[in-house]
Amino acid sequence: MKPLCAVIGHRRSHRRVWHDHVDLRTLCVRCGTPLIRSADKGWRPFVPSDDHPGRISRDAYREQMKRETELHAAGPADPEQWARLLIATFGDAVRGAPANTATLFDRLVVDLRSEPAFAEAIVTGRLDLPARTAVGVACGRLIGATRPLSLQFVDPLARYLLACARSTQPAAPPTSANPLG
């Protein structure tokens, strides 16, 4: 630690802040000391007792953001590629083998048909928040996500799955115009 930091405190880098899945982190611009932002104490030096199994390094954070950017740019226009990116970005390799990309969307549609909110969305063609939440939860469960999928990825996924579900939905039987006849 430099003497200036010892006297007046550390100066955080505004440009290098990242979220480690627990708290915000950065470095002191003067001495390079790792800093952490806690809700009750503000910015302070990171100490070993702050360690948590859910924390990720800055490099891991940057890699995660890179994958999320690729995923956001791709969208589900190419479903198989998008499924691979989704699994690579949010899936957990430790919790088991990721879902097969070829059947990911089919399995999601089958799982979601039993969800009342998504079943209603299939009928009405409207995706409300409960239906989108059901999509995010089902997808997260299927790929073994370590954290909830953010809405920016759930929305295009939900629209794509709704289109798939509506296209495979059996046609309604024709109704007679005359109720008596």
The sign of the dihedral angle between the CA atoms of 10, 12, 17, 22 is positive
Position 37 confidence tier, pLDDT thresholds 50, 70, 90: confident
Between 101 and 26, the more confident residue is 26
Start-to-end Cα distance in the chain: 90
Instruction: Return the beta strands (E) in 31-88 as ranges.
Output: 34-38, 42-45
Instruction: Identify the pLDDT of residue 68.
Output: 80
Give backbone dihedrals phi and psi of 43, rounded to 5 degrees, phi first.
-75, 130
Instruction: Identify the pLDDT of residue 93.
Output: 55
Segment 77-84 shows an average pLDDT of 74
Task: State how far the Cα of 62 lies from the Cα of 112, in Å rounded to an integer.
Answer: 32
pTM of the predicted protein model: 0.59
Question: Does 73 have pLDDT greater than 70?
Answer: yes
Question: Does 13 have pLDDT greater than 50?
Answer: yes
- CA 40, chain centre distance (Å): 27
The structure tokens listed for 169 are 């939905």
Segment 67-78 shows an average pLDDT of 76
Question: Does 92 have pLDDT greater than 60?
Answer: yes
CB neighbour list of residue 1: distance below 8 Å, 6 or more residues apart: 31, 33
